[in-house]
Amino acid sequence: MPLLALVACGQAGIGKGQQGLQAMAAQRSLRWGSAVTAAMLRDPPRRQLLLDNVGSITPENALKWDATEPQPGRFQFADADALLAFSREHNLTLRGHTLVWHEQLPAWLPALPTPQLLQALERHIRTVVGHGRGRIQAWDVINEPLDPGGNGLRQSIWLQRLGPGYLAAALRWARQADPAAILTINDYGLEGDDPQTARKRRSLLTLIDELQRQGAPLDAIGLQAHLLAPAQGTPEFRSLPAFLAELRRRGLQLEITELDVSDRALPADPALRDSRVAATYDAFLKAVLTEPAVRRITSWGLSDRDTWLNKALPRADGLPQRPLPYDAALHAKPARSSIAARLQPAPVKR
């Protein structure tokens, strides 16, 4: 049954005889992943949707600092261990997200004097990475270190209190805790064609060059790809392939780590929103899949039921956003059709 017919008849999940996203991605030697929570695994329909579609998972919150170390030196991993067990049971890779970020910090951390803050950062990285050693394939070691406007490094607690040396130190501690893990810097706002994006890209390249000069163990760059479906037209991502190639030439692996498409700039009509969101997925994947260094694409959830956008970036009219391949009832949407079309194997050149 064609995908659009599935949507029309309201059938949840993938249709009979259809391939899941991971099966299609594998034809391009890619992995398709999704952000997950332990609650999703306790809900059979959402759990099955994951198993039908992904080869990789990323804990949405279970490995962030406020979740893993709510009190200084007292670590807890119950939800993270549930996701680790799920990944092992179903032969899924697992990405660790995230070790060093300026948000979702426990309340006790900012009050530490600077020497203790540095000690806490080292202890946290070594403990959390060590807990997942051999089981977590890749880590977002540093999340969103760049100034949002493209003016160098973000003025975070880490930069203000510890200076820029925290970046190389964090990478080194992570490498020592798990020498086999892929160590990543992950950031947003790197995908578009506007001047602010160009500045932020230059800031990232400057940071990479400095870390490589220092011999810091950086393996990969993650582009979050929280995209916006524009009110008019479709984004083209004209400059993105050249930027990805620049990163590859620096010897880095590339991942799309948090892909979704916000519809907050669009009118209320759900059919129109779905069409524009699907077109944005299509344009983005067209640009990304030309780059051989991209080996994994992770959407920030599979179903609109689980999107973070309704809390973080709600629509002005109060309607739920529709940013993901499946709707809140787990029915396939046009976005899934766009993704599936782009995941078809590239034609063989003769």
Query: Which value, in Å, is the radius of gyration of the alpha carbons in the chain?
Result: 20
Given the residues 60, 191, 255, 258, select the one marked as catalytic. 258
Q: What is the pLDDT of residue 14?
A: 67
Assess whether pLDDT exceeds 60 at residue 145. Answer: yes
Contact residues for 171 (Cβ-Cβ < 8 A; gap 6+): 141, 142, 183, 211, 216, 217, 218
Question: Using one digit for the tens of pLDDT, what is the confidence trace for 88-122?
Answer: 999 999 999 999 999 999 999 999 999 999 999 99
Phi, psi of 116 (to 5 degrees): -70, -30
**pLDDT of 4-39, one tens digit each?**
333 333 456 766 557 999 999 999 999 999 999 999
Considering the chain, what is the average pLDDT of its residues?
94
pLDDT over 50 (residue 131): yes
The DSSP-derived string for 194-218 is SHHHHHHHHHHHHHHHHHHHHT---
Calculate what percentage of the chain has a pLDDT beyond 70.
94
Which H or E run includes 83? helix 78-89
d(CA 78, CA 66): 13
Active site residue 60: no
160, containing H or E segment: helix 157-162
Q: Residue 346: pLDDT above 90?
A: no
Taking the C-alpha atoms of residue 262 and residue 312, their distance in angstroms, rounded to an integer, is 11
Q: Is 122 designated active site?
A: no
Catalytic residue, chosen from 60, 69, 144, 255, is 144
Sequence-separated (6 or more) residues with CB below 8 Å from residue 87: 57, 93, 94, 135
**In 10 A of CB 114, how many CB atoms?**
11
Q: Is the pLDDT of residue 156 over 70?
A: yes
Task: Give the model's pLDDT for residue 37.
Answer: 96
As a whole number, mean pLDDT of residues 268-296 equals 97
Task: Tell whether the model's pLDDT for residue 238 goes beyond 90.
Answer: yes
Which domains are delineated in the chain? 3-342 (3.20.20.80)
**Full-model pTM:** 0.94
Per-residue pLDDT for 241 more than 90?
Answer: yes
Q: What is the pLDDT of residue 17?
A: 57
In the predicted model, what is the mean pLDDT of residues 149-160?
97
Given this model, what pLDDT does residue 62 score? 98
* β-pairing verdict for 253-262 and 220-223: parallel
Alpha-carbon distance 326 to 202, whole Å?
A: 35
CA–CA separation, 224 vs 293, rounded Å?
Answer: 16
